Amino acid sequence: MRYVILGLTVLFLVGCAQKIQTDVVLKNQAITKTQKAEIIEDEKRFLVVGTYLNDIIHEATPPNTHEHFIIALYEGGENPYRAPILGARVNDVNATWEYLEHNSPLLELLPMANSWSHYYHIKAPLSYPDKLILQIEIDPLRQVRLNFEKDPR
């Protein structure tokens, strides 16, 4: 009986350690797929952080038919507001986007999520070049461009 309890305890500890190790690997991979852009106008500061998800979630999901990104937008200053995305393109192809609530399971894939940023899921048709250029229009005067590279397969 003692060996059974000891064996179950070892299996439990090994299972928990594997889960933690997998989470660390995903977070590290997400960091390498994250890009940042900043717009500074007078005393305002606007931060855009984008993460390319396809290389992170490819094992957990069926074959992707789209390119997936999560964009975090934050406008600093005295009166921050929820900045909307007016347009998004990946390699000059129109993309769709949706606002993500702070309890969205997609945010768990990010290396870091916070409560003061606003998050959007951007989805574009699958692109075959290894380099992806994500262009985001926040308003006609605020446009950012983020460059991502796919993992070779």
Q: Which domains does the chain have, with CATH numbers?
A: 33-149 (2.60.40)
pLDDT digits (tens, 9 = 90+) for 84-120: 788 899 999 999 999 999 888 888 888 788 888 889 9
Answer yes or no: is pLDDT of 3 > 70.
no
Query: What whole-number percentage of the chain has pLDDT above 90?
Result: 21
Q: What is the mean pLDDT of residues 122-132?
A: 88
Nearest Cα to Cα of residue 35 among 45, 47, 48, 50? 50
pTM beyond cutoff 0.85:
no
Q: What is the pLDDT of residue 99?
A: 92
Rounded to the nearest 10°, the torsion over CA 75, 134, 98, 73 is -10
Beta strands in the chain (DSSP E): 34-41, 44-52, 66-75, 87-90, 93-94, 96-100, 118-125, 131-139, 142-149
Please provide the distance, in angstroms rounded to a whole number, between the alpha carbons at the two ends of the chain: 48
CA distances for 130 relative to 80, 125, 151, 152, angstroms: 36, 14, 8, 8
Answer yes or no: is pLDDT of 1 > 70.
no
Confidence of residue 19 (pLDDT cuts 50, 70, 90): very low
Q: Is the pLDDT higher at 111 or at 36?
A: 36
